[in-house]
């Protein structure tokens, strides 16, 4: 059976007090609506429809890679109104699943359970029981436990307000029936809107089987209306990530102080200290240790590497048994071979550091191809930028570079060479040569220094 998936993302979200569409605010580093679209995309034989309205251009531009059918709802009049605008695109012989762009943590496994119950004569509802159901539409059942209607909070009687089973808004209905129900909707209610929930009573009247499915947890169906709810959902998401990481064999020294804003893959016996942030896709090999207050983005860290505190790694490849930090910064394009060492206050960019090479402290190495077993003294920099273009520095194996050296690119230092401390190297240094490039020291006797006036 073909399946249409409709994601509602037209709301104004005025309580967010933002220049951006509500559904573009992020949970776990990913826009809420993109999370919903990604989950929807996992369901087979599905066609995506994205309903946009307020700041719809922003939403459409942000989601164009999903190839969803964009449907405009410029003057929103409720969820039923949104579905009526999608109705012409729905396949008569299929079913429609309704999702929400501000309910980002819905799981594919839950939606799969719903689709498994779908038939041409069945309507599937996702419901949940809450200790405090205030604000939600209540699920009304008859004496036999069959669902007969959904009553919104503002339209509910005192008895109905006591019901704890509530509507999540997520439902699955056969299209040939849904189109008829949508056409029959009215807005004679307290909100003056067309409620999608009114189709439940129509389905009951028409003799359809109305079945319910429940999510695994409340966070899965929690919506976001303001930044307080957004922050709460972020914590729910991070808690879920922490549990999964620990179940996969990672040690988190404090599971409440980690932020995963993308995908974090860990090997066995990984240790992550407090206040670490992971963005994009990060892969940590077996036995990796991440110190406190580190920020890793789009990188791969090899087995048994130690990343010490306050280190930033972005778009880089790190080999096995490396030693990085503290206070190091690996910028995009950095590649560390096995057993390389990057020490405190060292910055690298678009640099390949060979096996066993050491850049211990207070250095900048950019646009560099460095061989194995090189020792770089403190304060060394590669002068890779001439004001217009970037140039390459090439350093061979077993080179010793003295402290406070400037390597003015493009330049080559061949295997086994030694650079004297304080040198500015502008010309090629050949194999096993010793290069001095500094002015002769002059000492003046009886020097009288400046006197404070």
Reported confidence tier of residue 1, pLDDT bands at 50, 70, 90: low
pLDDT score, position 440: 83
Reported confidence tier of residue 349, pLDDT bands at 50, 70, 90: very high
Rounded Cα distance between 302 and 321, Å, is: 7
Q: How far is CA 222 from the centre of its chain?
A: 19
Same fold across 3-221 and 227-435: no
pLDDT at 316 over 90: yes
Candidates 6, 9, 8, 36; CA nearest to 20 is 9
* Coil, helix or strand at residue 85: helix
pLDDT score, position 58: 95
Known binding residues for UDP-N-acetyl-alpha-D-glucosamine = 8-11, 22, 73, 78-79, 100-102, 137, 152, 167, 225, 331, 349, 364, 375
pLDDT in tens, 81-125: 999 999 999 999 999 999 999 999 999 999 999 999 999 999 999
Average pLDDT over residues 242-252: 97
Q: Which helix (H) or strand (E) holds 359?
A: strand 358-370
Mean pLDDT, rounded, of the chain: 95
Go through the chain and tell me how many residues it has.
453
Q: Which helix (H) or strand (E) holds 46?
A: strand 46-52
Known binding residues for Mg(2+) = 102, 225
Known binding residues for acetyl-CoA = 378, 384-385, 403, 421, 438
Percent of the chain scoring above 70 in pLDDT: 100
Architecture of domain 227-435: 3 Solenoid (2.160)
Assigned superfamily of 3-221: Spore Coat Polysaccharide Biosynthesis Protein SpsA; Chain A (3.90.550.10)
pLDDT in tens, 142-197: 999 999 999 988 889 999 999 999 999 999 999 999 999 999 999 988 888 999 98
* Coil, helix or strand at residue 438: coil
- Residues taking part in catalysis: 361
Rounded Cα distance between 258 and 234, Å, is: 11
pLDDT at 203 over 80: yes
Q: Domain ranges for the chain, please list them.
A: 3-221, 227-435
pLDDT in tens, 18-72: 999 999 999 999 999 999 999 999 999 899 999 999 999 999 999 999 999 999 9
pLDDT score, position 447: 81
pLDDT at 227 over 80: yes
């Amino acid at each position: 059976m073909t399946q249409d998936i409709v994601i509602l993302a037209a709301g104004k979200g005025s309580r967010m007090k933002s220049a951006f569409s509500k559904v573009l605010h992020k949970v776990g580093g990913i826009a809420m609506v993109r999370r919903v679209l990604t989950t929807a995309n996992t369901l087979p034989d599905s066609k995506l429809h994205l309903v946009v309205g307020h700041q719809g251009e922003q939403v459409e531009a942000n989601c164009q890679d999903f190839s969803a059918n964009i449907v405009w709802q410029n003057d929103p009049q409720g969820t039923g109104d949104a579905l009526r605008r999608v109705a012409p695109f729905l396949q008569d012989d299929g079913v429609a699943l309704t999702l929400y762009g501000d309910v980002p943590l819905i799981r594919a496994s839950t939606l799969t359970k719903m689709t498994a119950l779908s038939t041409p004569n069945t309507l599937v509802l996702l419901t949940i029981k809450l200790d405090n159901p205030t604000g939600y539409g209540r699920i009304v059942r008859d004496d036999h436990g069959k669902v007969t209607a959904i009553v919104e909070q503002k339209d509910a009687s005192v008895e109905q307000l006591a019901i704890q089973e509530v509507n999540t808004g997520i439902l699955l209905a056969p299209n040939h029936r849904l189109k008829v129900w949508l056409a029959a909707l009215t807005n004679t209610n307290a909100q003056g809107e067309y409620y999608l929930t009114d189709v439940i009573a129509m389905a009951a009247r028409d003799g359809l089987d109305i079945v319910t499915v429940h999510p695994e947890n409340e966070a899965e169906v929690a919506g976001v209306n303001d930044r307080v709810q957004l922050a709460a959902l972020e914590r729910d998401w991070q808690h879920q990530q922490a549990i999964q990481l620990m179940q996969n064999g990672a040690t988190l020294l404090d599971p409440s102080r980690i932020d995963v804003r993308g995908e974090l893959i860990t090997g066995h016996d990984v240790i992550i200290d407090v206040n670490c942030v992971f963005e994009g896709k990060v892969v940590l090999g077996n036995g990796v240790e991440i110190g406190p207050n580190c920020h890793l983005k789009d990188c791969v860290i090899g087995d048994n590497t130690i990343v010490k505190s306050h280190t930033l790694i972005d778009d880089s490849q790190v080999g096995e048994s490396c030693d990085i930090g503290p206070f190091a910064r690996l910028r995009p394009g950095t590649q560390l071979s096995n057993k390389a060492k990057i020490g405190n206050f060292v910055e690298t960019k678009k640099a390949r550091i060979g096996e066993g090479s050491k850049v211990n402290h207070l250095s900048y190495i950019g646009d560099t191809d460095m061989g194995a077993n090189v020792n770089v003294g403190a304060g060394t920099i590669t002068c890779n930028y001439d004001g217009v273009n970037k140039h390459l520095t090439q350093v061979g194996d077993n080179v010793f570079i003295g402290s406070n050296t400037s390597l003015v690119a493009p330049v080559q230092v061949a295997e086994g060479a030694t650079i004297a401390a304080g040198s500015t190297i502008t010309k090629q240094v050949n194999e096993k040569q010793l290069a001095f490039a500094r002015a002769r020291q002059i000492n003046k006797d009886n020097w009288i220094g400046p006197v404070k006036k």
